[in-house]
Amino acid sequence: MRISAWHEAELTLTASADIPGPYTSVEVWATFTHTDGTVLRRPAFHDGGRTWRIRFASPTGEGAWLWETSAGVPDPGLHAVSGRIDVVTDSVTRPGFWRMSPGGRNLVHADGTPALLVADTAWALPWRATEEEVRVYARDRAAKGFNAVLLMTVQPDMRATGPRDRSADEGFDVAFEDLPDGHLNEVNPAYFHHLDRLLGILGEHGIVPVLQPVFQGFGWKGLDVAGTVVPPGEYARYCRYLVARYGARPVVYLVGADGAGTEPQIEAGGREVHDSDCYGQPTGIHYRPHARANAHQGAPWLDFQWCQTGHGGEHVPERVADMWRETPVKAVANGEPSYERTGHPDLAAGWWQGHEAWSNLCAGSTMGVVYGAANIWQWVHRDGEPGHAPYFLGPGGSWRDALDYEGSTYVGLVGRILKGAPITDMAPDWETFLSPRGLRVPGRLHIVYLENGGPLPMVQDRGTPPGYRIVDPRTGRVTATGRLTPGEVIDTGRGPRVVIFAA
């Protein structure tokens, strides 16, 4: 087999005999050894019948990998199978998967290129959406500048009922037949074949999936989530399955969501991801609105903490600032601001979302910004579809209509405005300029967000690069450029403005 760097390759293993309970009873691993001595270990996953698969991506652009499997059963189709993968030069240069920056505050690609997460919240997409719907969704979000999406990998409510039909009212697909009983043992391979295709479409559009195993909070309809009930060992095994199935492509692991962070499933899942992911892709926790976001702060498996500020339409950047001060350092973000138009057409609507994103960023949300819209997160099929909590519904319409909510444009622009800027390990700063919202990388970058524009005086010279551009964050248009001179007060103009000083 011949592959290029950071390109997913798939190896297929076939057991020589039927194995009872293959998902729960057999572990299969593959060890990959490069000609330079590098060793990577990847878990395999059962894919129905007698089939297991191993997915692998080479972090190097040359040489060869020799691989060999080990299995918990002596089946010759699974154990001690070996082969070779040659790495060839590709005309397309890939920066590699996301990982944490040297200071732990930001994302960077494997080659060190800075990255800023700009994520949407389409929790129910994996079990409600069709392939064509995801193509529509991905085109829209990629065009606006989004590069990630938060997903519940399974429908988490144990008491949710509906037809197993993605196009029907209240319909959804099923990943585990025994999830209604609080277990993850009876896997449905066909569900994950479909999810493979959906995540493939997202990947084609440059959108990284943020994979949440089983929700701990409200879930889809608030009907008793399994994420706090599933035995931790089963939760951990499913996390390893996700690493095996999707970890040879860009991904973020959100091992806890909408809980206190102390649920035993979260630690079990985080440890399992850490132990089974040889690429070190980001792993973290998303919290409910009324929890302090610092569980497992010192854990080696934890890379980031995401607060949630609820859905009342309040700006609460102090939650992000509070997380920023926690030690040891973890990257932080507001992983769930108020969903746009949730329950009311004016709630968190329009520029509210842009101001929220820039305020959170400057408060310390340097891992990135996250957006959510009513009707998209629960993937509402049509206006009036029954069974959804009225509190979370937008005023009419479906997920398709919600794609056009105004606020998504402003959040998507954040990443585009900062594209190419040296943002790695930037930190909040309000000492250099007379402005309450700013970010700084000493000697390399300074960003100031002015809610209403106006004058921008420098308070003290701290080596800020003199060249600057002024951007209207509502359009992304550069309104002025210049070089700062001593004593100058920059007139940024009227309306929201972002001023970027970069070396």
Q: How much of the chain exceeds pLDDT 70, in percent?
A: 100
What pLDDT is stored for residue 159 in this prediction? 98
What pLDDT is stored for residue 118 in this prediction? 98
What pLDDT is stored for residue 239 in this prediction? 98
3-state secondary structure string across 380-449: CCCCCCCCCCHHHCCCCCCHHHHCCCCHHHHHHHHHHHHCCCCCCCCEECCCCECCCCEEEECCCEEEEE
pLDDT average, residue stretch 51-74: 97
What pLDDT is stored for residue 252 in this prediction? 98
Give the fold, CATH level 3, of 2-87. Answer: Immunoglobulin-like (2.60.40)
Task: Provide the residue type at 116 as one letter.
Answer: L
Mean pLDDT estimate for the chain = 97
**How many other β-carbons are positioned within 10 Å of the β-carbon of residue 326?**
15
> What distance in Å separates the CA atoms of residue 168 and residue 163, rounded to the nearest whole number?
7
pLDDT average, residue stretch 46-60: 98
pLDDT at 91 over 80: no
Residues 6+ apart with CB under 8 A from 228: 216, 259, 263, 265
What pLDDT is stored for residue 6 in this prediction? 97
What pLDDT is stored for residue 100 in this prediction? 98
What confidence tens digit (pLDDT) does each residue in 338-397 have? 999 999 999 999 999 999 999 999 999 999 999 999 999 999 999 999 999 999 999 989
What pLDDT is stored for residue 434 in this prediction? 94
Residues 6+ apart with CB under 8 A from 201: 131, 134, 135, 138
What pLDDT is stored for residue 93 in this prediction? 80
What pLDDT is stored for residue 94 in this prediction? 87
Q: pLDDT confidence of 90, banded at 50, 70, 90?
A: confident
What confidence tens digit (pLDDT) does each residue in 336-345 have? 999 999 999 9
What pLDDT is stored for residue 34 in this prediction? 98
pLDDT average, residue stretch 125-135: 98
Residue with tokens 């189709």: 77
What pLDDT is stored for residue 92 in this prediction? 79
pLDDT at 141 over 90: yes
pLDDT at 167 over 80: yes
Q: How is the chain split into domains, by residue range?
A: 2-87, 109-418, 429-502
What pLDDT is stored for residue 396 in this prediction? 84
Q: For the structural domain made of 109-418, what CATH number should be given?
A: 3.20.20.80
The edge-to-edge listing of strands for the beta sheet with 331-336 is 331-336, 304-308, 283-287, 252-259, 208-212, 148-152, 117-121, 368-370
Phi/psi of residue 214, nearest 5 degrees? -140, 120
What confidence tens digit (pLDDT) does each residue in 177-191 have? 999 999 999 999 999
What pLDDT is stored for residue 486 in this prediction? 86
What confidence tens digit (pLDDT) does each residue in 389-446 have? 999 999 989 999 999 999 999 999 999 999 999 999 999 999 999 999 999 999 999 9
